[in-house]
Structure 1
Amino acid sequence: MPRFRYQALTNIGSTVSSIEDANSKAELVSSLKIRGYWPTSIVEDIESDEKKSKLQFLIRRRVKPKDVEFFTYQIGTLINSHIPLARALDITLEQVTNITLRQVINQVKYDVEHGSTFANALAQHPKVFSDLYINMVKAGEAGGVLGVVLARLAEFAEGQRILKNEVVSALFYPAVLFAMSGLAIGVLMVAVVPKFTVMFEDMGTQLPPLTRGLISFADFVSSFWWMILTMIVVLSVAFKRFIQLEKGRLIFDRIKIRLPLIGQVFNSFAIIRFTQTMATLMENGITLLPALRVVKDTIGNQVYSNAVSSAEQEIERGSTLARELGRSKVFPPVVTHMILVGEESGSPQQMMTKLSEYYDLETKKNLERLTSLVGPLVILLMGVIIGLIAFAIIDPILKMSASIG
């Protein structure tokens, strides 16, 4: 999209100047007049546009969830302050730094100024705004509570981000321990053990089986390290391709939720996403079936998504959500029982909220338990491995010293 430098007069006679993206000069003139500006000069900023194109070619700026969260919070705050949507988009645009998101907001603003609804304008950018986001905005526009809905969306996005960060933080320490221990073992295999191998060969004595196995393994690592690295890269690429397939993703997600210790965290995380999203959608007037169609794509686990998809099909035939989630054998009994209570009492949204709060606490407890257990287990495992390496090296030396003595 071309970029233009412009100068314009405001309604009170002051002069403003800025740089803005637009499809054409005519589009920019129309946009400025809608905002109460009268352009006196518009020049295409060719140099800036070329620099931007080169930068975008070199650096592909992905729109991160945090960027969308900031955008949502800003727009919601401005609309709740009774600022018109087009003007709110204009103000927010000035504060957004992500190049890609700036282009998206510019296009959304243009569509809104030319008669589109906010939801329809956002729907033109599915890589940035999810179905959940668009459906919520649509409900907010229909009910005349767009600012309130955007504020809730921002809170929801923040909660999801915080939860994800907590999971990553909990796994970071064990991962670092594992990586550092692996590096230490690699250095021993490549740099230390070969030096002792020469000494053992000079000794000419029969080595214990453990020492012979260690020397053989160290020789293999030293000679074929490039093959090992190549295999790691190939397997990583193959794994990434595999989980991109629907069947591969299903297998991987099924394994994840069945893992000891960490499996509980993955289960809780999926349930939180399901219950929080359902509660948010239903709270804003979206009925059960449309909510299920949206939520099945936001859970982040194919096993749970398939269970929700099957439940959706059966509900269309007259069944209930609690019954179908119970039949799936994926959701725990506490979830299906509380949803059943919500259905019977006519307050399913409140039960979804309570479930999300309950599993949020459970996830935090599981993460604390995981961190307290996995860290020492990794240290113990690596200590045993390094201890075996040290023993394999020291044992023949001690035996040789004893025979000389």
Structure 2
Amino acid sequence: MPVFEYTALTASGKKLKGVIDADSLHSARQKIRNTGNYPVTIKETTAKAAGDKTSLLTRQIGQGIKQQEIHLATRQLATLLGAGIPLVPALNGLIEQTSNRSFKTVLAQIKDAVNEGNSLTMALTNHPRLFSKIYINMVRAGEASGSLDVVLDRLAEFGENQHAIRSRIKAALLYPLFMAIVGVLVLFLLITFIVPSITSVFEGTQQALPLPTIVLIAMSTILKQFWWVVLLIILGAVAAVHWYVATPAGRRHWDMLKLTMPGVRDLSIKTASARFSRTLASLLQSGVPLVSSLMIVRNIVDNVILAEQIREACEELEKGSSLSQFFRGGKWFPPMLVQMMAVGEQSGTLDKMLAKAADSYEKEVEAKILALTSMIEPVMILTMGVAVSFIVVSILLPIFEMNQLIK
């Protein structure tokens, strides 16, 4: 059934935009009028009208559609299917409940594709920027096994848990970031505006200034007259590092640095292990084959070194080796994870063992990040204290020397 985007006027003259499905343009116009609104413009947004459905979806995806909305819609769809409602009516229910206009259009197009005889998996593949490979493969496995509602429920839980972890980490980092910005601004104002008015007293004297005072005056002059040059240098350095990390060689060096740098190594490995375990467990629980699951997981560990090791694991599995046997010879994945893999393979509960490992590593990562953020605050206070002390000492030293000369 075609999908139409429309603009209408309410009885009070207020402008209204929305999405509606109908058999024809005339039916769409009639449906809008039946709601008590007057249609102004109606435009068909189905694949037939667009001529190129993929390009249309590409333009729409990501424009105001949040991941939380996808998780909520997944949960609602799982509930509707679990209650015995067929897929198309269930998608209709989602469209009616969704307030986001862009997401409503996407859902309507998915329903239209399913109505034409396509599977839900095929309909979702038209939206690669909105639905990840993990999402699509789990839905494919759910359709193949006849347990789509269970898989969708698991997908919603997986997405909600990942979002909750990211939200807690962002919240923990927010206060230190705010403190850092305020500290830098305070120091900048002190050095560029307060210090010059105080050090100008020393300009008329013939007294040789102490080295800290000379350094402070030089810093003040540079920041006051050439602050834009300093800003450009900082931005240029950040852009250069970002460009280098975006190159294959730079990304490899950066990922290797994260895995070997003291203080960062443990956090990076445990973060990757948590993401690896959680995603692989979710895919296996949904019925996706192990090798296919690993090929998907290697794209989300966010580290090319680990991705290469996972790819090698896939090759060894196809030769008859076990997953734990391969990773036992590596040096990046923690021994506890490898041992839980071995237990899971022996007992036939690999997915459950990986889920338990993910629970453990996610808690460790969150605790470690919270510990690091709690250490940032005293370090920042100490840094600010040292900087302010340097400014105060640099100003007081010449004053003390002047007093000594007067005596």
TM-score normalised by L of structure 1: 0.84
Give the corresponding residue for 2:299: 297
Q: 2:395 aligned with 1:396, yes or no?
A: no
Give the corresponding residue for 1:135: 137
C-alpha contact 1:132 1:294 (8 A) present in aligned 2: yes
Give the corresponding residue for 2:168: 166
Q: 2:108 aligned with 1:106, yes or no?
A: yes
C-alpha contact 1:2 1:44 (8 A) present in aligned 2: no
Give the corresponding residue for 1:154: 156
Give the corresponding residue for 1:20: 19
C-alpha contact 1:4 1:44 (8 A) present in aligned 2: no
Give the corresponding residue for 1:69: 71
- How much has 1:169 moved relative to structure 2? 2.1
Give the corresponding residue for 2:203: 201
| Total equivalences in the alignment | 380
The CA deviation string for residues 204-238 of structure 1, in whole angstroms up to 9 with x for no partner, is: 21111111111112111111111122233333444
Counterparts of 1:252 and 1:63, CA distance in 2: 31
Match of 2:214 among 212, 215, 219: 212
Secondary structure at 1:3 match in 2 = strand
Counterparts of 2:260 and 2:384, CA distance in 1: 24
- 1:4-403 alignment, distance < 5 Å: 4=6, 19-21=18-20, 26=24, 45-47=39-41, 61-403=63-405
C-alpha contact 2:283 2:293 (8 A) present in aligned 1: yes
Counterparts of 1:136 and 1:97, CA distance in 2: 26
- Cα 1:388–1:28 change in 2 (3 A) is farther
Secondary structure at 1:286 match in 2 = coil
- How much has 1:325 moved relative to structure 2? 2.3
Secondary structure at 1:328 match in 2 = coil
Of residues 338-347 and 268-277 in structure 1, the stretch that sits farther from structure 2 once superposed is 338-347
- How much has 1:91 moved relative to structure 2? 1.8
Of residues 169-178 and 290-299 in structure 1, the stretch that sits farther from structure 2 once superposed is 169-178
C-alpha contact 2:18 2:101 (8 A) present in aligned 1: no
Counterparts of 1:40 and 1:69, CA distance in 2: 30
Secondary structure at 1:224 match in 2 = helix
- Cα 1:241–1:75 change in 2 (3 A) is farther
C-alpha contact 2:278 2:358 (8 A) present in aligned 1: yes
Give the corresponding residue for 1:14: none
Counterparts of 1:244 and 1:89, CA distance in 2: 40
Of residues 356-365 and 39-48 in structure 1, the stretch that sits farther from structure 2 once superposed is 39-48
- How much has 1:67 moved relative to structure 2? 2.1
TM-score normalised by L of structure 2: 0.84
Counterparts of 2:62 and 2:342, CA distance in 1: 47
Counterparts of 2:263 and 2:100, CA distance in 1: 38
- How much has 1:372 moved relative to structure 2? 2.4
- Residue type of the alignment partner of 1:114: E
CA RMSD of the aligned region, Å? 3.0
C-alpha contact 2:25 2:42 (8 A) present in aligned 1: no
- Cα 1:39–1:376 change in 2 (3 A) is closer
- Cα 1:40–1:261 change in 2 (3 A) is closer
- Residue type of the alignment partner of 2:69: D
Counterparts of 2:73 and 2:239, CA distance in 1: 34
Counterparts of 2:32 and 2:279, CA distance in 1: 48
Of residues 111-120 and 381-390 in structure 1, the stretch that sits farther from structure 2 once superposed is 381-390
Counterparts of 1:4 and 1:168, CA distance in 2: 38
- Residue type of the alignment partner of 1:159: N
C-alpha contact 1:61 1:98 (8 A) present in aligned 2: no
Gaps of 5+ in 2: 9-16, 44-58
- Cα 1:258–1:392 change in 2 (3 A) is farther
- How much has 1:263 moved relative to structure 2? 4.4
Counterparts of 2:336 and 2:171, CA distance in 1: 28
The CA deviation string for residues 356-402 of structure 1, in whole angstroms up to 9 with x for no partner, is: 11112212321232122222112112211221122111211122123
- How much has 1:102 moved relative to structure 2? 2.4
- Residue type of the alignment partner of 2:172: A
C-alpha contact 1:262 1:370 (8 A) present in aligned 2: no
- Cα 1:40–1:258 change in 2 (3 A) is closer
C-alpha contact 1:139 1:284 (8 A) present in aligned 2: yes
- How much has 1:336 moved relative to structure 2? 1.4
Gaps of 5+ in 1: 7-17, 33-37, 50-56
Secondary structure at 1:100 match in 2 = helix
The CA deviation string for residues 50-97 of structure 1, in whole angstroms up to 9 with x for no partner, is: xxxxxxx9x972433222112211211221122221122122123333
Secondary structure at 1:298 match in 2 = coil
Of residues 123-132 and 344-353 in structure 1, the stretch that sits farther from structure 2 once superposed is 344-353
Of residues 343-352 and 230-239 in structure 1, the stretch that sits farther from structure 2 once superposed is 230-239
